[in-house]
Amino acid sequence: MVAHEGGRMPLLEHFRELRKRVVRAAAAILVASVFGWAFYPKIVNALAKPICNLHRSHIAGLGNCGALYVNGVLGPLNLQVTVSFLVGIIISAPIWLYQLWAFVAPGLHRREKKFSILFISIATPFFAGGAFLGYRVLPLAVKALLGFTPSSLNNLVRFDDYLSFVLRLILVFGGAFELPVLLVALNLAGVLSGRGILKPWRIAIFGIAFFTAAFSPTGDPLTMSLLALPLILLYFFAGGIALLNDRRRSKRAGSE
């Protein structure tokens, strides 16, 4: 991004830069989606395990897999395209996270831009860790939700609806785990101080609880707790890191 007039840029340049970053992120997602397309059977088997083991059903020669079914002529194709695309989003997380940071970084000072690599190297494992936790929570959430089905009824689940639920759960967990990375990045950029992060801790805990209640695809207390508790701990951890960074910054300013 080329700066004009002391680092400021015209609005049109911002739109051009945004378009460039979006195109690069989309290209990375599409390329990574090829991996999801190639390994589609294995991915579907892993995601369907909480309800039915597709691999065992295939070996046993069963014509169906419990309560799961695919509806419509285009259902199987739409299902594979959806799985491939969302797997591409998860795999290409380092690239589109970098594109997001690169769009913001030109507005920062040169000293602050050096944290770009640090931001990506930390944001990626946090996103992956959140997504993995969401996958591990999935069987508990499915068991809790299906447990509300009356014993006299059968619960038939459309596989595309179930898959949408699974991937939303994984993406919500992965995105939520970016909270501490965002807070520390804002502290490194000089936007937020450690005290500014931790002072409204009651409001922050309420906001985390509200977020988990509003965006958790399950809505059951177990899943919301398994998402909210790690976020609260990560919030205080990020605040502690910000306080240490503020102290280091103050010492350096005093020595200078």
Residue 115 has pLDDT above 90, yes or no: no
Confidence of residue 108 (pLDDT cuts 50, 70, 90): low
31-72: pLDDT as tens digits = 999 988 998 888 887 877 776 665 555 555 555 555 666 777
For the chain, the average pLDDT equals 78
Residue 117's pLDDT is: 67
Check if the beta carbon of residue 34 is closer than 8 Å to that of residue 85: no
Average pLDDT score over residue span 25-30: 91
Residue 114's pLDDT is: 62
The whole model's pTM is what? 0.70
